Amino acid sequence: MEIHGTVETIPYLCKRCYSCIRECPAIAIRVENGQAVVMQERCISCGHCVTVCSQNAKRINSDVDFVVNEIIPTGNAVALIAPSFPASFTHDYLKVPSALRKAGFKMVCEVAFGSDLVSPLYKHEIESNGKQTIISSACPAIYNYIEKYFENLVPKLAKIVSPMIAMGRYIKETYGQDTKVVFIGPCIAKKSEYCDEHVAGAVDAVLTFAELKDILSKTGISLTDLTETNFDPPLALTGKAFPLAGGLIKTADIPGDILEKEIIVVEGREKVEEILNEIQANKINAKFIDILFCEGCIQGPAVDSDMNYYSRREKVINYINDKIKATDKQVWKSNIYNSRHLDLGRDFTYRDMRVEMPEEEVIKEILAGTNKHTKQDELNCRACGYKTCREYAIAIAKGLAENDMCLPYLIEKLETAYKDLSETQEQLQSAEKLASIGQLAAGVAHEINNPLGTILLYTSLLKKELSVKLNNPQSIEDLDLIAEETNRCKNIVSNLLNFARQGKLKLADVDIYDMVNSIIKTVRIKPEFKGISISIESLLDDSVLKGDSDQLKQVFLNIINNACEALEDREVKKVNISLSRGDSFITITVTDSGCGIPKDNMNKLFTPFFTTKKMGKGTGLGLPIVYGIIKMHKGDIRVLSEIGTGTTITIKLPVNLQ
């Protein structure tokens, strides 16, 4: 895959942890289809996304092939080593110059001499620039950040090149413009700096310490097999301290009274964001602010060392103390003097990448979309990578984030989806069970109907004959009982056929409110339901839907009768019916204050022949028939019940049944 910027994401390795978003000060990472994509135009090349990615899903633009195959073979290549190299090559760092020469470099020089070159310019700027605040420009991640997101601070950047560019210009000026210069250091942002139009040509390629180790490994060069050698001149002096926090101040030999009152040293991403915001808000009046994006260059994202900050710092300080003592200061001064005409200036570009703040209503709408309707709903858990839920919503509005990055919202969605799936599975199992029972019931019903008819016929004939020939009231009563029980069997068979039928619906306009209201009037006059309060509330402007009037009437008659029967032994006898509408459905809710349904019975409600009614009062086919009719109408039925409180049955029916 071709890389078009300093850093990019390897999609198949990205695991949606959003750590890179959390660490990116420029919000230069957009999530697309769950993948964290680096937006090159917004990226400041700080490299923090690389250091926090546990899946190694960030790839750095590499000059390794270019250096190995094109630069070194020229025989005119010079390696510039950043002064933080002892923090990376921890054991045999004094053998690094030997290794680079063996790899094919003609010369190996210290970038620290470039630090010595630019430091006096900073001192001059501080002493001659009045009260205006000056910001150091040695760190490319810092000036990239300012150019893109703090446009008002661009004039405050010191128009001085970094030590890398200073040393590159020195080498080209001294040894010829055709000399190939390769910088090797801990900084990923240097890969963007050497391509900057304002300093282009000073350096031909940039390698990280990790990439240098890779080259040495592939070419079979082992530091342990080499001897210690010094760098090629010009040798550096205090410039070796540049990778440490405050190193620029030390190298520039800025007076202590100024240091105490008017100079600020800042290091680390969070402090950088804070200080730049403070300067932009005119809350900082210091004369000079030395800023490093990392906690010193020894903490650069490409140092490639397992040592902690303090061990790295000690390693570099030991190296500095050893080498400064061995450096000939007169030769050093002569080299600095001979470089007095070298151009060490540069300009900066306004590249504003700020996106206009979305309107408040848009932010609120996005927050509501992830179930955050009040401030209390905003957890600010940072799982999405943003500090607050509000920042996350703003990022979505700016097109930098996706809705599915909010972990609590996703968990809620998952729980809801799991619940819906469980309910659907239960309904499917019930439907399959009912279908198989229905087929059995249809066959049984047809087979039983004929003998029942015969029994009724001969019972009637016997009754007629006995009433004529015999005066035996007991026999007549017995025959009436036979006929009554036979008719009861025929009703059961009829219900079985209704349950099992797969017939078509006779669709017509049905006024649900009028239908339910008429059923209530019928139920109220039944003696067994005396004393029951039945109320109906309609929130419908239009209560008409498409359906089979006879079958829907059977549904609501069954449901309301069941609700009333559940109140038989209750002191409070109430049935409340409500009708409402949402989108394309009408919802009918029937709530009673009855005894409630035991939890163990909830899954059996729509099972044929299951009933808790007294003997002779129910067949257990009412609710299964109701279920079948509602499903034929492409509707839905849900039951909620609590023992001792009552039961609520909710039915949803489509307005326009297709």
More confident of the two residues 426 and 233: 233
Question: Does position 97 have pLDDT exceeding 50, yes or no?
Answer: yes
Residue 274 has pLDDT above 50, yes or no: yes
Residue 188 has a pLDDT of 92
The answer to whether 146 touches 153, Cβ cutoff 8 Å, is yes
Ranges of H-type helices in 385-472:
389-397, 407-469
Which CATH number, 1.10.287, 2.60.40, 1.25.40, 1.10.3470, labels domain 406-502? 1.10.287
96 band by pLDDT with thresholds 50, 70 and 90: very high
Mean pLDDT of 386-390: 83
- Of 15-29, 51-65, 636-650, where does mean pLDDT reach its minimum? 15-29
> Which residues of the chain form CATH 3.30.565.10?
503-658
| Cα–Cα distance, 187 to 205 (Å, whole number) | 13
Q: If residue 121 lies in a helix (H) or strand (E), which one and from where to where? A: helix 112-128
pLDDT for residue 74 is more than 90? yes
163-175 and 112-128 helices, crossing angle to 10°: 120
How much is the pLDDT for 502? 47
Q: What percent of the chain has pLDDT over 90?
A: 34
Q: How confident is the model at residue 619 (pLDDT cuts 50, 70, 90)?
A: low
Residues forming CATH 1.10.287 domain(s) in the chain: 406-502
Q: Mean pLDDT score of the chain, rounded to an integer?
A: 84
User: What percent of the chain has a predicted confidence (pLDDT) above 70?
Assistant: 89
Question: Which residues lie closer than 8 Å to 618 by C-beta, 6 or more apart?
Answer: 611
Residues 476-525: pLDDT tens digits? 777 778 887 787 777 666 666 665 554 567 889 999 999 999 999 888 88
Tens digit of each residue's pLDDT (9 = 90 or more) over 358-377 = 888 888 888 888 888 888 88
Structure confidence at residue 105 (pLDDT): 96
Paired strand residues for 205: 182
Q: Which residue has the higher pLDDT, 94 or 325?
A: 94
User: Nearest Cα to 202, choosing from 69, 80, 64?
Assistant: 80
Contact at 8 Å (CB) between 595 and 616?
A: no
Could you tell me the pLDDT band of residue 3, with boundaries at 50, 70 and 90? Answer: very low
Instruction: Dump strand ranges (E) for 233-346.
Output: 263-267, 288-292
Q: Which CATH class is domain 503-658?
A: alpha beta
- When pLDDT is cut at 50, 70 and 90, the band that residue 32 belongs to is confident
pLDDT at 1: 33
Per DSSP, the residues of 489-542 read HHHHHHHHHHHH--PPP-EEEEEHHHHHHHHHHHHHT-GGGTT-EEEEEE--S-
Task: Output the six-digit token pair for 383.
Answer: 């799982």
Q: What is the pLDDT of residue 541?
A: 86
Residue 451's Cβ-count burial label (10 Å; 0-12, 13-18, 19+) is exposed
Tell me what the mean pLDDT of segment 192-200 comes to.
93
Q: What's the rounded mean pLDDT across residues 65-84?
A: 94
- Residue (of 46, 9, 48) closest to 31 by Cα position: 9
